[in-house]
A and B are shown apart, each in its own frame.
Chain A
Amino acid sequence: KQEVTQIPAALSVPEGENLVLNCSFTDSAIYNLQWFRQDPGKGLTSLLLIQSSQREQTSGRLNASLDKSSGRSTLYIAASQPGDSATYLCAVRGGGSEKLVFGKGTKLTVNP
């Protein structure tokens, strides 16, 4: 059974700092991995999707990497801003399945 773990559970940083969020998964036989953002009481916004054959994806100040063999992914946020404050969720989709398995998320607070 796939399990997804995100560390840390919460992170508070000053504005402008670069930061890394971590995600690990137990079964390396994944189809893809996706990072989402969730604001309080809201739904999910997809940030980056990495296919199993890819090593990384970039969008603006965000960069996500994937090391499938070790079961790890990182989300790098450059020059953080208060507007980046949210909970970041990592989810993996197993091979041959449409199901997404989510981690519990990392709650990020960027202080002005």
Chain B
Amino acid sequence: GAVVSQHPSRVICKSGTSVKIECRSLDFQATTMFWYRQFPKQSLMLMATSNEGSKATYEQGVEKDKFLINHASLTLSTLTVTSAHPEDSSFYICSARDRNSYEQYFGPGTRLTVT
């Protein structure tokens, strides 16, 4: 089956620093990738939709200048959390849509802890 990887799986950073999370589709091309955030015991909330070669579309309430998304190729999207604060601590999950089958496949997630 299709595989989506995320790197890093866990990251701890200090308040005020920036953190980059990578999402890769390993065996398929993805014109669209999605970034979700999940707080403990809560549902996954869509943050933004990332389209290859164009600007990301952010959901209401998500600051685009704080959560920078780049989708530079058909297999890679990155999410950069800028000037991170403790309230940004969460589980970030990406998914990638196969350009041929249109199915979405999810990555294993990245646990971000901001101290």
State the Cβ distance, B12 to closest chain A Cβ, in Å: 15
Alpha-carbon separation in the docked complex, A39 to B44 (Å): 14
Chain B residues at the A interface, C-beta cutoff of 8 Å: 6, 32, 34, 41-46, 49, 91, 93, 95, 97, 103-109, 111
Flag if B32 contacts A102 (CB, 8 Å): no
Flag if A100 contacts B46 (CB, 8 Å): yes
Flag if B109 contacts A41 (CB, 8 Å): yes
State the Cβ distance, A33 to closest chain B Cβ, in Å: 13
Residue-wise interface mask of A (86-105) relative to B, using a CB-CB cutoff of 8 A (1 in contact, 0 not): 00010100000011111111
At the interface with chain B, which of A12-20, A42-50, A53-61, A71-79?
A42-50
The main secondary structure of chain A at its interface with chain B is: strand
Kindly identify which residue among A45, A98, A104 contacts B43, using a CB–CB cutoff of 8 Å: A104
Alpha-carbon separation in the docked complex, A46 to B106 (Å): 8
Kindly identify which residue among A45, A89, A98, A104 contacts B97, using a CB–CB cutoff of 8 Å: A98
Kindly identify which residue among B6, B34, B43 contacts A105, using a CB–CB cutoff of 8 Å: B43
Alpha-carbon separation in the docked complex, A4 to B45 (Å): 12
Flag if B106 contacts A44 (CB, 8 Å): yes
